[in-house]
Structure 1
């Protein structure tokens, strides 16, 4: 207990860093994932090809490699001096978007094809039929896999600690270097991660129940 109380400010900073990185990366992943999923089911062939390439490339690239590209290539070529938090958020968000895309696309596939065709037959554009007809129905089946994806994202934030970002795993390294008992440090770090992941799981279970009632 002394390890936690004596370093409470440091633990709090790491906890807030992990939560902030998780939330911002999740928002980016959700936006990109929905857009790319729309590309993948688009009637426009180049958009479908782009969406397929996006998912295939990112799902088969190690996340650590994306971090290396984000921190050592992007600042030199595109954005010199960019904040390390933004780089970590982009790496996590872009990587996770490929998994969000597939979850959303699977949800789209649960909606009967005839409904989208009926929407287009009454004059709706592709985007209108997606927004008004397909997406609201697909949401119910998308929620459960999104919970698992965002929990995995939370755990993936640990990689950001090796790239000059203050988060829980980075705090663990700092405390270990100070000579504190590593076993006790890991216990408190694990509990902090469990609080975040259980919160995400609980929020999604609540959302699932709300959607069940709506149905």
Structure 2
């Protein structure tokens, strides 16, 4: 398969994710432990999943509204599993509302609030080691909401935590209907939305990090550039 080639334009956002000051304006939905070690953002659940179930999961939102045609890059360090790591992007409230509009239903980290609530978003799960079947056949899954639409999947090269040589450099491209994702410059999936089968093509919006407990992971060097499509 021949993948599309994208290059970086102007830098729209850069965050080292190295200290508490770097995320003071971020928005946490649910309960999570947020700490910093070795100049990296460390995230893990606050609540025990054995006791609290799906209430132990959470989402951490960057407050910036990004346009369409972007390249998102970050460094990822898996630390403890089982669990799952995901990124939301192009996230907005329905009917043109901001993601944090007070009229939207309160979100607390439970997944159905995000895929079948009153927001629209794309969500890519790139470290799916929560359940036994996910660990037995590892894939990166791309979904589109509103609705629980699995629109693309690709083989996931990320190993179990004990075999990880971190960091892994993750790159996500959102360019009109095209979504492309790579890990360490290996393209894992590419999908183009036709704007019909799963509703209109999503445009700009916010980015959020999600983990399913008891996953612990670290993040660093979140950078967003304008994306340019090479002919």
Question: Same fold judged by TM-score > 0.5?
Answer: no
- Structure ranking higher on relative contact order (CA contacts 8 Å, 6+ apart): 2
What's the TM-score once normalised by structure 1's chain length?
0.25
* Larger of the two Rg values belongs to structure: 1
What's the TM-score once normalised by structure 2's chain length?
0.24
Higher strand share: 2
